[in-house]
Amino acid sequence: MANWAGNLIGLARKESGLTQRDLARRAGTSQAAIAAYEAGKRSPTLDTLARIVRAAGKDLRIRLEAADDHDEWLARYEASLSAEVVQEWRRRDSELVEQARRER
Amino acid sequence: MCRSGADAIASLLNRLAGSDEPGCIEGFRLSSDELTPIAFERIVAVLNDHKVKYVVIGGLAALLQGVSLPRTADIDVTPASDPANKKRLAAALRTLDARLRVPGLDEPIEIQLDERTFTGMMTMTFVTRFGPFDVCFVPDGTSGYDDLIRHVQVLDRAGVKIPVASLEDITRSKRAAGREKDAAHLTVLTEYLRAASEED
C-alpha cells in the first residue's frame, strides 16, 4: 500500500487534465498538500481522499476481495534470485522498452 | 489484472485428491536451474511450438510496447478457452515442467497437466523451468481471449512472435481490477497513451 492514496489522486488528476494547483483550488486545499499526497509524503484520510478525487470529477469506490498472496509470493521468488540474474533481467527489460520505442 | 482464485485452486486440489490422478503434493525448493528463470521468450517459444492460442497481458505486455512499468518476474497470458486449445496449453505446460502455485503455499506442487486441469478455472499460477507463468482466462474488465485478440499486437523479439494485448486493453483491465498497485501503473499508462496520441 506504499502510496495508494497518492497514486489515486495523481491518476484522477491526470485523467482529468488538471494541474496540482487546479485540483487544489477545486478541492479547497493547497497545491503543496496535493503534491505531498502524490509524493507519498502525507497520507490523506479516507474522507479527504474521497473529496479530492471528487474534485477531479471521480468517485472513490471501495470493495472487498478475497486476499491474494500472489504478489508477495513473487516478491519472495524475486528475492531468491541472484543479483546477477536480477541485473540481467532489468537490463533486458530496459532494452525491450527501448526497442519498442524505436519501432513506434 | 488477474487474481489468483484461491477457492478455485482449492476445488482443483480436492478434485485431484478425490480422483486417481497423480496429483501428488511434493516438497519444493528452487533449484539452480530455476534461478535462471526470467526468460519469458522461452515460455512464449514453447507456447508457439505447441500452437497455443494466447495473448500476453499485464506488465510484460505493456513493457514490450514501450511502457516502462515496474513489472514482476512472471508472464501473464490469456489463452483461448476452447477444449482443443486447453489441450495444447496443457502440453506446453508439460514441456515447461510447470508446477502449480497454490495461494498460501510457498512451494509449487506437481499436478496432472491435461485439458481437465483447467476445468472450472479462471486463473492458475504456475512455476516453470523458465520462471513464473500465470494463466488467466478472463482478465478483469474483459471477456477473455476473443475480446483481447481483436486489438492484439504481434511483436517479433529475437525471432519469437509474441502476441500482446493492446495498451488500451491493458489499461481497461487494470482499471477494472482496481488493485492498489494499479493506480500507479494506470498513471504511467495514461500518460504514455496521451503522449502517443499527441505524437500521432
Check A7 against B71: CB less than 8 A apart: no
Instruction: Please give the CATH topology (third level) of the domain spanning A4-55.
Output: 434 Repressor (Amino-terminal Domain) (1.10.260)
> What is the per-residue pLDDT for B3?
47
Check A97 against B71: CB less than 8 A apart: no
> What is the per-residue pLDDT for A1?
54
Cell of B194: 496521451
| Chain B residues whose beta carbon lies within 8 Å of the beta carbon of residue A67 | 6
**Where would I find the H helices in B4-82?**
6-17, 40-49, 58-64
Q: Which residue of B has its CA nearest to A97?
A: B66
> What is the per-residue pLDDT for B200?
73
A18, A70, A85, A101: best to mutate for the B interface, most B CBs within 10 A: A70
Work out the pLDDT band at B44, boundaries 50, 70, 90: very high
- For A31-77, how does the pLDDT look when each residue is reduced to its tens digit (9 = 90+)? 999 999 999 999 999 999 999 999 999 999 988 888 888 888 888 88
Instruction: Please give the CATH topology (third level) of the domain spanning B6-192.
Output: Beta Polymerase; domain 2 (3.30.460)
| Chain B residues whose beta carbon lies within 8 Å of the beta carbon of residue A1 | 180
ipTM of the complex: 0.76
Mean pLDDT of B64-69: 92
Work out the pLDDT band at B73, boundaries 50, 70, 90: confident
- Whether the per-residue pLDDT at B6 is higher than 90: the answer is no
Q: What are the sequence ranges of the domains in chain B?
A: 6-192
Q: What are the sequence ranges of the domains in chain A?
A: 4-55, 70-103
Name the strand (E) or helix (H) holding B5: none
| Chain A residues whose beta carbon lies within 8 Å of the beta carbon of residue B35 | 80-82, 85
- For B97-110, how does the pLDDT look when each residue is reduced to its tens digit (9 = 90+)? 999 998 888 789 99
Q: How far is it, in rounded angstroms, from Cα B58 to Cα B77?
A: 8
Q: Nearest-CA distance from B57 to chain A in Å?
A: 16
- Give the DSSP letter string of chain A: -TTHHHHHHHHHHHHTT--HHHHHHHHTS-HHHHHHHHTTSS---HHHHHHHHHHTT------------HHHHHHHHHHTS-HHHHHHHHHHHHHHHHHHHHH-
Q: Nearest-CA distance from B142 to chain A in Å?
A: 18
- Give the DSSP letter string of A43-68: ---HHHHHHHHHHTT-----------
> What is the per-residue pLDDT for A85?
86
- For B160-194, how does the pLDDT look when each residue is reduced to its tens digit (9 = 90+)? 999 999 999 999 999 998 888 888 899 899 889 98
A20, A77, A90: best to mutate for the B interface, most B CBs within 10 A: A77
Q: How far is it, in rounded angstroms, from Cα B119 to Cα B113?
A: 11
| Chain A residues whose beta carbon lies within 8 Å of the beta carbon of residue B181 | 71
